[in-house]
């Protein structure tokens, strides 16, 4: 009996360990999904962006590629915000979508993806629609290799709906690729020499260290150099324990203020992050005048666009190991003034209020005290990140996730993928997602998937009824009278209950503590709406 394209593809996916598919089904995907294999699992989301976000969280938490199935051009358009985030998160995703029947493509019938390879650009590493149905299995293999090789990221395949029942050319060919690149021997030796001769070096660590499970190596290099460690600006994964004596804080994400933080250092090395991630424009030099900057990344786009510094392409963790083996140990004390914040706006003073409403800082301190040390925190609450980081220093690896893009709507579905990975792996750590009331609206339908999968996620919504982060920008940019910055009339408890979650409105610290104790005992998700005093944080 001749093997079909569908059979050959599913056989390849088994060999690659891709038996979980995140998706939202459509007409052009049903020919792929029909007679769905019993050894595969379909994670159903109600929106394509949620499918990509959940797959992103799952891939990050398992450190393996994940497979997403979207609906032709319409689904790809719906998913673009989280495809953007996956690209900047450097998450290996294989994103597929159906297309219309090949015989009709020339006429561009309804739901045709007219330019399938172009549509998801520039936020995928590679995109392709096979020229022949027979090429589909091999295209999946190439997609897997492209997604996994550094820098990891999403790739896209468009597959006409009539390809799947056509005969395959033979057995699918599975192969493996290396997901890491090592250092150039001469250049790593030079970098080590520069660090060894430095009088006051600084280490700037990025999220690639966390993605590579490199906290141990990061600590070893820092302790041998006895040098302060800064988190790169707006780092999406903490690269270093924040209770370590050498941790200095997070660098600000603006040009002038960042250079001021590095003033006094003669050498600084950025490992596993861009140089640098900025947001508001504050003029100044990129680095202090007398600072020699070194840069290590596995992403040639990051090394190519860096405005200053000497760069090297290399896996972040391999670079840490190579440097630690080569640098000379330092005994002199590091010279740096520690700061409280990690990678976020400074905590703001609450606006005057005669009520007993919790502040964001009080809420986050209560949550930290009421949850286990190994709790996995997933964050998308831009207006009170300063308070969160002040209340919740990250002490264990893989216990905080956020997104590198700034595009809202990632956190809620990503927490679903992370919680699913916790259950699949047997770690079963509690998952706490903190989401602003405005941010929540970008992917609210992800609550339904959490409920259907019976994942014990605790969603906490600090409700300030405004886009406070935008009010912060308005203050910085002196743009008064901007409309649409307030969010009246949102009933988050009713929304969550409508999607099948347990939901409560809590207004005091004792209620938060009790709700936390109950939430992690449930078999499904819990949402807490907690009104907080509104603040306008300083961006810098």
CB of 103 closer than 8 Å to CB of 87: no
Predicted local distance difference test score (pLDDT) of residue 340: 43
Six token digits for residue 41: 């699992």
Helices 72-89 & 48-62 angle (0-180, nearest 10): 30
For residue 351, how many other CB atoms are within 10 A of its CB?
Answer: 11
CA distance 344 to 282: 16
| Alpha-carbon radius of gyration of the chain | 24
Which residue ranges in the chain fall short of pLDDT 50?
340-344, 354
Predicted local distance difference test score (pLDDT) of residue 466: 76
Please name which of 240, 235, 290 lies closest in space to residue 262, comparing C-alpha atoms: 290
Six token digits for residue 224: 């041998």
Residue whose entry in the numeric block shows the structure tokens 């910055």: 485
Predicted local distance difference test score (pLDDT) of residue 351: 52
CB of 104 closer than 8 Å to CB of 164: no
Predicted local distance difference test score (pLDDT) of residue 347: 53
What is residue 95's three-state secondary structure? strand
CA distance 179 to 452: 34
Predicted local distance difference test score (pLDDT) of residue 349: 52
Is the backbone peptide bond immediately before 122 cis, with ω within 30 degrees of 0? yes
Predicted local distance difference test score (pLDDT) of residue 536: 79
CB of 40 closer than 8 Å to CB of 20: yes
Contacts of 186-191 with C-beta under 8 Å, sequence gap 24+, read: 187/312, 188/312, 188/314, 188/319, 188/322, 188/323, 188/326, 189/326, 191/269, 191/294, 191/296, 191/310, 191/312, 191/323
φ/ψ (deg, to 5) at 41: -130, 130
C-alpha triplet 72, 75, 81: angle, nearest 5°: 135
């Amino acid at each position: 009996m001749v093997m079909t394209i569908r059979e050959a593809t599913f056989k390849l996916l088994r060999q690659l360990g891709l038996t979980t598919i995140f998706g939202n089904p459509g007409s052009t995907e049903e020919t792929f999904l029909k007679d769905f294999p019993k050894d595969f699992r379909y994670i159903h989301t109600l929106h394509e962006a949620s499918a990509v976000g959940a797959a992103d969280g799952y891939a990050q938490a398992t450190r393996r590629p994940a497979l997403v199935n979207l609906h032709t051009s319409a689904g790809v358009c719906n998913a673009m915000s989280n495809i953007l985030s996956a690209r900047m998160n450097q998450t290996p995703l294989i994103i597929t979508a159906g297309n219309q029947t090949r015989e009709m493509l020339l006429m561009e019938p309804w739901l045709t993806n007219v330019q399938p390879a172009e549509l998801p650009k520039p936020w995928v590493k590679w995109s392709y629609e096979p020229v022949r149905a027979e090429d589909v299995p091999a295209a999946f293999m190439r997609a897997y290799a492209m997604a996994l090789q550094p820098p990891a990221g999403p790739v896209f395949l468009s597959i006409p709906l009539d390809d799947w029942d056509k005969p395959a050319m033979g057995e699918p060919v599975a192969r493996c690729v290396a997901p890491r690149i090592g250092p150039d021997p001469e250049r790593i030796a030079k970098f080590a020499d520069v660090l060894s001769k430095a009088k006051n070096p600084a280490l700037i660590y990025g999220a690639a260290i966390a993605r590579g499970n490199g906290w141990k190596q990061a600590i070893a290099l820092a302790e041998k150099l006895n040098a302060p460690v800064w988190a790169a600006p707006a780092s999406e994964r903490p690269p270093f324990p924040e209770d370590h004596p050498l941790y200095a804080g997070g660098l600000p994400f603006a040009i002038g203020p960042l250079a001021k933080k590095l003033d006094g250092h003669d050498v600084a090395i950025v490992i596993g992050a861009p140089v640098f991630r900025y947001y508001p424009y504050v003029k100044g030099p990129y680095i202090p005048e007398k600072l020699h900057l070194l840069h290590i990344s596995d992403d040639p786009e990051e090394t190519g666009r860096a405005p200053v510094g000497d760069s090297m392409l290399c896996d972040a963790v391999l670079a840490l190991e190579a440097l630690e083996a080569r640098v000379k140990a330092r005994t002199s004390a590091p010279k740096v003034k520690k700061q409280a914040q990690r990678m976020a706006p400074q905590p703001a003073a609450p606006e005057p209020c005669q009520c007993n409403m919790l502040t964001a800082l009080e809420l986050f301190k209560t949550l930290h005290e009421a949850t286990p040390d190994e709790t996995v925190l997933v964050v998308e609450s831009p207006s009170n990140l300063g308070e969160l980081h002040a209340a919740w220093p990250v002490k264990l690896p893989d216990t905080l996730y956020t997104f590198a893009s700034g595009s809202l709507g990632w956190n809620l579905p990503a927490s679903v993928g992370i919680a699913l990975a916790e259950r699949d792996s047997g770690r079963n750590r509690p998952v706490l997602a903190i989401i602003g009331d405005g941010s929540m609206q970008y992917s609210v339908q992800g609550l339904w998937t959490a409920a259907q999968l019976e994942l014990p996620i605790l969603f906490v919504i600090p409700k300030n009824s405004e886009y406070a982060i935008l009010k912060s920008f308005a203050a910085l940019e002196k743009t008064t009278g901007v409309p649409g910055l307030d969010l009246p009339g949102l009933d988050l408890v009713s929304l969550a209950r409508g999607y099948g979650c347990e939901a409560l409105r809590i207004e005091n610290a004792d209620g938060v503590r009790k709700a936390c104790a109950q939430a992690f005992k449930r078999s499904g998700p819990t949402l807490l709406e907690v009104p907080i005093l509104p603040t306008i944080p300083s961006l810098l």
